[in-house]
Amino acid sequence: MEGAAEERLCAEFRSITGADRGLAKRYLGRAAWDLQHALNTYFEGDTDPGSSVASAMQPPPVEVLDVSSDLEVIEENSLPPNLHSASGGDEGSLSLLCWNLDGLMEEQIQLRARGACNIIALHSPDVVYLQELVPPYLGYLQQRATSYHIIPADEQGYFTAVMLKKSRVRLISHEVIPFPTSVMGRNLLAVRAEVSGVPLYLLTSHLESTVSHTKERVRQLQQVLQRMALAPSNATTIFGGDTNLRDKEVSQIGGLPPGVGDVWELLGRPEETRYTWDTTLNDNLKLGGARSSRLRFDRLFYQQPLTARSPGPSSLPGGGGGGGVDATVVPRSLRLVGTERLACGKFPSDHWGLLAHFDLVL
């Protein structure tokens, strides 16, 4: 293989994994310069366990995320009454947190995981969408978040998950829909649930990363929207995740289809919640200077039930396609979480989390 092609593959491998150049070349060389094979090997840990390569790439072992010293467990009854009311956990509302937790970053992962769990406990959202989980992080959540059903899309490599508060949200079923042309093992996790008798169709994903995978990312966006179109006719659909989208990529497909709204746009495009990936403020990855960027990677899409839609003016806040009568779930507010630095000097993640509140119209 020519040097330029090798360097291109090394750059792609490094942009996805965060590995250094030497490690990237070793994995690609062992995989005969097949990028997908090299990525699979990297994330699955399929290498000589005693090698320096193995120690450099393995996700932190489960014992790194030791909960034995933690005094708090995410239990609904452990929160003061004022925090329950602040979380919006009453019968007339629905709260949802969407967050890429950056489980692939090993630095200070135990303290970052504890910080993220404390934020979840503080806000006590009814639904949580998580991206970039790794098995140790999942195990940590399973031990601490005992008041939630936790539904992972996988339990190997890195993956997404949905958490449902047991006291408020009833789990009906779930499925994992693969993206067949993904080179990063990405998929769509779909969960059917119910809150206060209102059917929900909950979707999360981590769309293909990096500028060089624009075509695949747009293809995955289209697959998400196709799945939303197939939602149960009586269910409110909420998709959320680390989309890695740029606005121009949404424009490439003609924008969101009628009946589907971007929650941030529906709420009037509040500037304080525009950027969920902001390396001018979040220095976890140490991307300073010219490499700093501010992007709206993490997004929430909302769709009324088919049975609540009809020709005519839209009931979505701020307008939008699809028309309709009163929706069963209506976006009310949006805020960023995880924006305060932990005592260890890091933020819980390199992404800010998106916390949304919806009103239930019964």
Residues noted as catalytic: 242
Q: What's the CA gap between 340 and 348, in Å, rounded?
A: 8
* Per-residue tokens: 185: 């093992």
The answer to whether the CB of 113 falls within 8 A of the CB of 140 is yes
CA dist 129 and 21 (Å) reads: 32
CA dihedral 80, 83, 89, 91 (to 10 degrees): 70
Structure tokens at 251: 């424009």
Which residues on adjacent β-strands are paired with residue 164?
Answer: 127, 149
Rounded (5°) CA angle 90-299-309: 65
- 3 state SS of 169: strand
- SS3 assignment, position 35: helix
Helix, strand, or coil (residue 160): strand
Residue 306 phi/psi, 5° resolution?
Answer: -60, -35
Sign of CA dihedral 41, 42, 46, 51: positive
Query: How is residue 120 annotated by DSSP?
Result: H
Q: 189 - beta bridge partners?
A: 176, 204
**Alpha helices for 87-208 (secondary structure H):** 109-123, 135-144
Q: Quick one: CA dihedral 245, 249, 251, 255, positive or negative? A: negative
